[in-house]
């Protein structure tokens, strides 16, 4: 079987900064992988590299194959087609994704008609309604006529997810998709993402600094540190098999059980004496 995504020896540098060093990562179709690590570990750079969206000053080596074919990074038009149809992308700030002067319906139907040029106005409208239903927005037909400022942050994030689904992608990459939301909304958006990814059987890469977020919607985690991939493990085995740095990430999570206790902090990574300050 051809794999979904095959990242081989991917390295990215911004001048003297090595953002990614020799990443190898393969995903089978339907794999749901959380990519975790602290700020600056290279998670976003990895997502952007796969999508061909690195800034021009990034020096990138290595190869990424998608469904068996190398991604055509140097061909802008071909990459635009990949992003519109085969790989969906969701990022953190829903507000920035929408123009305030167009209705939500205009945004979605435009995205649909860009991904499927033959689709007529009427069909695009019905399809948009179905997509808003899929992301669990009530009264979708009515809400298509609303403007972004009439939507809450959580609802806008749902619309952004709907827009990422217009091309029926085989892989969805989400970079901190719920970080801008309050905790309750975050949980409901993650639950919805989990249901959609499951129902569509898509591959899913969820980028987050928070292992708890990843646990809501993924089955495996890949842990990054300093531009390197240091561990990949099934979530079910995480506690038993956590690499010392992964364990530190787990312990740094605020949970209700730890109320009143000091949170762990992640110091420079020194594996040999890592547990001494517990």
Binding residues for ligand ATP, rule: CB under 6 A, are 14, 17, 19, 37, 39-45, 55, 209
What's the closest the beta carbon of residue 189 comes to ligand ATP, in angstroms? 18
Q: How far is the CB of 43 from ligand ATP (least distance, A)?
A: 4
Name the token pair of 8.
């081989």
Smaller CB distance to ligand ATP: residue 67 or 179? 179
**3-state secondary structure at position 5:** strand
* Angle at CA of residue 200, ends 202 and 123, nearest 5°: 120
Question: For residues 32 and 34, what is the distance between their CA atoms, to the nearest angstrom?
Answer: 7
Nearest approach, Cβ of 14 to ligand ATP (angstroms)? Answer: 3
Contacts of 211 (CB under 8 A, 6+ apart): 34, 36, 221, 238, 249, 250, 253
Which CB sits closer to ligand ATP, 78 or 267?
Answer: 267
- C-alpha to C-alpha distance for 164 and 186, rounded to whole angstroms: 18
Angle between helices 153-164 and 104-115 (to 10 degrees): 20
Provide the token pair at 182: 């309050």
Q: Which is nearer to ligand ATP, 55 or 120 (CB)?
A: 55
Comparison of 44 and 186: residue with beta carbon closer to ligand ATP: 44
Question: Shortest gap between Cβ of 92 and ligand ATP (angstroms)?
Answer: 9
Which C-beta is closer to ligand ATP: that of 25 or that of 108? 25
**Shortest spacing between CB 91 and ligand ATP, in angstroms:** 10
Sheet holding 69-70, edge to edge: 17-27, 5-14, 58-66, 69-70
Minimum CB distance to ligand ATP smaller for 209 or for 228: 209
Cβ of residue 85: shortest distance to ligand ATP, in angstroms?
25
> Inter-axis angle of helices 121-134 and 153-164, to 10 degrees?
120
């Amino acid at each position: 079987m051809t794999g979904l995504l095959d990242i081989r020896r991917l390295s990215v540098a911004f001048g003297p900064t090595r953002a990614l060093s020799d990443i190898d990562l393969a995903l089978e179709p339907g794999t749901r992988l959380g990519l975790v690590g602290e700020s600056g570990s290279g998670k976003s750079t990895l997502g952007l590299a796969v999508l061909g969206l690195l800034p021009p000053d990034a020096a990138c080596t290595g190869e990424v194959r998608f469904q068996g074919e190398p991604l055509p990074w140097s061909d802008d038009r071909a990459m635009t087609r990949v992003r519109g149809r085969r790989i969906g992308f969701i990022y953190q700030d829903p507000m920035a994704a929408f123009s305030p002067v167009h209705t939500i319906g205009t945004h979605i139907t435009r995205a649909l008609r860009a991904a499927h040029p033959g689709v007529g106005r009427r069909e695009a409208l019905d399809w948009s309604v179905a997509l808003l239903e899929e992301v669990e927005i009530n009264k979708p037909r009515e809400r298509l006529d609303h403007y972004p400022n009439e939507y809450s942050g959580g609802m806008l994030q749902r619309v952004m997810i709907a827009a990422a689904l217009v091309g029926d992608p085989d892989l969805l990459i989400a970079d901190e998709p719920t970080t801008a939301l309050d905790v309750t909304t975050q949980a409901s958006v993650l639950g919805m993402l989990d249901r959609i990814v499951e129902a569509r059987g898509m591959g899913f890469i969820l980028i987050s600094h928070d292992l708890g977020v990843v646990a809501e919607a993924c089955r495996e985690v890949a842990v990054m540190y300093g531009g390197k991939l240091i561990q990949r493990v099934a979530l079910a085995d995480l506690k038993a098999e956590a690499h010392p740095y992964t364990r530190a990430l787990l312990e740094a999570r605020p949970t209700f059980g730890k109320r009143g206790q000091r949170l762990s902090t992640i110091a420079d990574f020194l594996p040999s004496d890592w547990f001494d300050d517990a």
